[in-house]
Structure formats: C-alpha cells, structure tokens
Amino acid sequence: MVPMPEAFDAVDVIVAKRDRRELSDAQIRWVIDAYTRGVVAEEQMSALAMAVLLNGMTRREIATWTAAMIASGERMDFSSLQRPTADKHSTGGVGDMITLPLAPLVAVFGVAVPQLSGRGLGHTGGTLDKLESIPGWRAALSNDEMLAQLDGVGAVICAAGSGLAPADKKLYALRDVTGTVEAIPLIASSIMSKKIAEGTGALVLDVKVGSGAFMKNLDRARELAETMVDLGTDAGVRTVALLTAMDTPLGRAAGNAIEVSQAIDVLAGGGPADVVELTVALAQEMLAAAGRGGQDVAAALTDGRAMDAWRAMIAAQGGDPDATLPVARHAETVVAPTSGVLSRLDAYAVGVAAWRLGAGRARKEDPVQAGAGVVMHAKPGDPVRAGEPLLTLHTDTPERFERAIEALDGEWEIAPAGTSIETGPLILGRVARD
Ligand code: URA
C-alpha cells in the first residue's frame, strides 16, 4: 500500500516559528502527532523547540499544543468516584517533599488525591525516589489499583503510566538535552497536558521562584503560572497557582529517606515551620478548589488524622509505615567557622550537593541512594555558633564528599551576631481566575 502523504512538511513548520509567525491549529496538531509517530525527527523537533523558546507562542498556540499532547495518549476517568478530586503539582525545588504530607492531609477531608508523580532529574528531587526509600513501597499501579485506592484510602501517589501524554515524555527527554527546558509555553503545556489527561477535577500549582527553581524571577514565574491557570481553566479543571520562594531550600533536608523522615515529623504535628505553612496553604487551596473549603486543616496534622491517612496510603502500596528508614553509611559535617546569624543558604547549591552525594541521578536509568543527602542544622535567620554543625552530608560512597562540599563553597554566609536578616515571605503570590 502507498503510505498517505503527510499533511505538512516539518521544515515549513520550523521556518514559520523561526520567522516569528503563528502556527495554525492544523500545523500544531500535525507536528505533535507526527513527532509521536517518529515522522518528525528528533533534530527537527529540537529546532522547533528552540524556535519556540526564542520566539514564544500565543495563548491559542499553547492551548492547541497542549490539547495535541493530551490527544497523543489516554485520558484517565475518575467520574466513578463518590468524592471530588484535587491534585497538586510543584514545578520543582530543593527539599520539596510537600506532596508526602499534603496528599493524606487533603484526603482526610473527603477529597480524593490522585497524585501522579515523577522521579528527580538534575538538582531537583523526585517524589517517587523519596517514597521508594520506604521498604516495600511500590510506585507502579494499574489504573484499576489506583481507582480502588482512591475509593478506599482517598490518596494515591504513584508513577504516571506510559499511556499518559506520550508526546510529552518524548519531548521532555529531548528538551532536557537541547537547552530548551526553560521555555514557558513548553513547560506549561508539558505540565498541563499530563494533569488534564489525568482527569483531576481541581488542580493547585506550586510555582517555585528563585535560585533552586526553573523560574529565577517573579515576573517569569507569574507568566508561567498565568499560562497554566488559563490552560487548566479552559479545559474545565478548577486551577489555582501559588508562587512560592525557592532561594533557600524548603525544610531542613534535601535527599530521599531524610525528606521522608521530615514529612513524617510534619504528619506527627511537628516538622519545620516553612514546610507546615506551605502544606497547610496548599491543602486549603486544594479543598477550596474541590468545593470543600473552610476547614481547620492544621488540626488534622496535630490530632493524628493525617498520619492515619498516610499510614493507610503507604500500606496500600506495599510499604511498611513502621519500617526503619535507610541511613547512609558515611556522614561528614560542615561546621560554622564563626558565630553569628546564617544570612544565606543557596537552594541550588544544596540541591546540587544532595545530587552529587547520590540522592539524584545524572541519567534517567541511574539508581539513587536512599540515605544520601544534606541535613541543614540552620536556615537563614537562625543563630549559629563557631564550631557547631551547619550542614551534615550523607552518602554511601564517601568519594562523593569532595564534589558535594565544592558545590556548597561560597553558597552560604554568616553575618555578625545581632544582624537582622530579612528572610521574606514564603508565599509570594496567587494566580486564579475566580
Ligand atoms: N515539569 C514537567 O513536567 N515539565 C516541564 O517542562 C517542567 C517541569
């Protein structure tokens, strides 16, 4: 049989975007479909991604691009559930383990949380890598298992199946190696295609801003948030975004098991104040977007209800909530050289250090070390004393210490005692189409 001729030529599409012209809906639908089929070559898509990064896309182009990525795969359907659904997505940061306490916390209030999560790549951690440090826990669930868990426990954190937005999987891997990750239209369509295909009724986006985030300044973060909120709203998903600070790590740990342990502290009513603040704020937004607002969310962290939901969620996926978490075989401490107040601790540097210690991976197929990472004994604004620990570095492979310490060199500062440190708010803004 003679193959059907293709509707467009990839070079014409690339040239149009290179020359700052708007792509038609038909061109966009074709290019995404033909790329998924392997007809548009990797080098052609990489040229197009670079043209998009340099020249941008209109709101219509982004919406069509997102819809085409959704159409490249399956859509999930939670309409058989008796409760509303709400999900959260973070654009990625250092020490960001908020999903772990957040999903069970929201489930306490009768809203189901279908949290499809990813693995870490580069300096930002991945939720699945963190949870896999719990003995027995498994990330891969079938759609039926996921639905059953949402019906019973009310919360599930698992890997997205390969059928969800396959065009994005291919394109994301390509962007990662062609310097085109940072394009706002591509980030927004990548995140929202997966979230819309997942079928959640409500979505809260945590758009990180600062050195440890993709978006280094507030204007670009707001533009990304607005683009994603528009995409979600137009697709019928109640979508809200919070803009949150990521100049310094969240919480006091960056790694896998050490972040799980911190999440358990939060679920037990303790934990670092910034993690609690953000968990409560995101839970309130998720509940409001799902039509269950106005609840005393913080109480469920202190009275054990969120912990009960966590234990049920972990056990439902084969994990042992009582198991001792893995501890790295070696530790090295960075001590404060002088007394004073910690005035700066850079999020990106801590993320890179944790990554180099083995908490993250350099290539997708690399294993991660469950116990590796950085524990922070002080955060900006805290007093420190000469000779006392500032950071503890953990790894199973001590030859990694040198490069991890190098990453931290010059990335923290101590001001004289009594200096007042302006740490700034954690929540920098909110974007919604109310
Ligand atoms: N996360 C995604 O899923 N896609 C992006 O493009 C960036 C972050």
pLDDT at residue number 177: 83
Mean pLDDT across 259-277: 98
In the residue annotation, 89 being an active-site residue is answered as yes
Q: Is the pLDDT of residue 181 over 90?
A: no
pLDDT at residue number 182: 87
Name the residue of 175, 181, 228 whose CB sits within 8 Å of the most ligand 1 atoms, as the mutation to test its pocket.
181
Q: Any idea where the domains of the chain sit in the sequence?
A: 86-163+192-323, 330-415
How confident is the model over 123-168, as pLDDT tens digits?
Answer: 777 899 999 999 999 999 999 999 999 999 999 999 988 889 999 9
Name the residue of 186, 191, 208 whose CB sits within 8 Å of the most ligand 1 atoms, as the mutation to test its pocket.
191
Share of the chain above pLDDT 90, in %: 89
Cβ atoms within 10 Å of 369's Cβ, excluding its own: 24
Beta strand 383-384 pairing with 373-376: unpaired
CB 324, CB 133: distance < 8 Å: no
Fold equal for 86-163+192-323 and 330-415: no
Catalytic residue among 190, 195, 206, 394: 190
Four-residue CA torsion sign, 133, 134, 135, 138 = negative
**By alpha-carbon position, which residue is closest to atom 7 of ligand 1?**
187
Q: How far is CA 272 from CA 14, 48, 98, in A?
A: 48, 43, 11
CB 26, CB 7: distance < 8 Å: yes
Q: Is the pLDDT of residue 176 over 90?
A: no
Instruction: Give Cβ neighbours of residue 310 (< 8 Å, ≥ 6 apart).
Output: 100, 101, 104, 264, 267, 321
Q: Is the pLDDT of residue 333 over 80?
A: yes
Specify the amino acid at residue 161: G
In the residue annotation, 168 being an active-site residue is answered as yes
How confident is the model over 211-263, as pLDDT tens digits?
Answer: 999 899 999 999 999 999 999 999 999 999 999 999 999 999 999 999 999 99
Alpha-carbon distance of 109 to 154, in angstroms, equals 9
In the residue annotation, 175 being an active-site residue is answered as yes
Closest CA to 373 of 358, 390, 388: 358
Closest CA to 397 of 345, 358, 339, 341: 358
What would be the CATH architecture of the domain defined by 330-415? Alpha-Beta Complex (3.90)
Ligand 1-lining residues (CB < 6 angstroms): 91-92, 172, 186-187, 190-191
How confident is the model over 17-41, as pLDDT tens digits?
Answer: 999 999 999 999 999 999 999 999 9
Question: Could you tell me the distance, in angstroms and rounded to a whole number, from the CA of residue 8 to the centre of ligand 1?
Answer: 28
Q: Is the pLDDT of residue 298 over 80?
A: yes
Q: Classify 86-163+192-323 by CATH class.
A: alpha beta
Question: Could you tell me the distance, in angstroms and rounded to a whole number, from the CA of residue 72 to the centre of ligand 1?
Answer: 17
Catalytic residue among 29, 88, 170, 194: 194
Residue 118 Cα: closest atom of ligand 1: 3
Q: Is the pLDDT of residue 364 over 90?
A: no
